[in-house]
Amino acid sequence: MKSSISGLVNNVSLLVATLLASTLALVQQANADCDVSFDGEKLEIKCDDADDSILVRQDGAGSLLVDIGSGEENVGPVDDLKDVVIESEGGNDIVAVVALSVTDSVEVKTGKGNDFVVVAIDVTIGNDLKIETGSGADVIRLGFDVLVANSVDIKTGGGGDTVDARFGSGVIAGNDIKINGEGGNDLLEVGGNLDVGNSLEIKDFETVNP
């Protein structure tokens, strides 16, 4: 079965397609070993140290869809979804969370490797968004209506990392946004698209383009 990540790219606007297509071109994916579990409220995806490709979204029928590189799987109804936890471990990983609504939190941890994380396109989070990438040249892209009721916390680990929030209407957080480049020669592209209800904290970025 053809990966639904490619299918999704073919069915969105040109700008969004460009954003998602770049995730496909970043690394050549291997067959990864991922465990996917969903109990009706919490979705957990845990992978090995291979190169992982992960897409999580919901469709118009109210189904929660997961693609780990081998085709889309309907894991259940999205109605009571509270939390999404993705741990891709080592390897050069692609993680995309798009068109999704959760009542509590989304947490993404990618571990060591040159990783690409996308949270974009009508994502609504009832509490917190946490993204943590390990050592490596990581890229995090956010935008096209990401609404977070409480806080956004991003840590990029060691390496020359890029956090890019220039797309569409960017990110709106009801409380705080914290972005920490940690080690390495890091780049933050804001584009005026970070909107916070309380405070914005940016640390350890060598270059910040407002």
Identify the domain containing residue 21 by its residue range: 4-209
Q: What is the pLDDT of residues 10-22, one digit of tens each?
A: 444 555 555 555 5
pLDDT of 12 reads 43
**Token digits for 185?**
């020669």
Beta-carbon contacts of residue 136 (< 8 Å; ≥ 6 apart): 92, 112, 113, 114, 115, 157, 158, 159
Residue 25 has pLDDT above 50, yes or no: no
Q: Which residue has the higher pLDDT, 30 or 188?
A: 188
pTM for this predicted structure: 0.88
Quote the number of domains for the chain. 1
Average pLDDT, the chain: 86
pLDDT of 198 reads 95
Nearest by Cα to 92 from 37, 135, 148: 135
Q: What is the pLDDT of residues 65-124, one digit of tens each?
A: 998 887 889 999 999 999 999 999 889 999 999 999 999 999 999 999 999 999 998 999
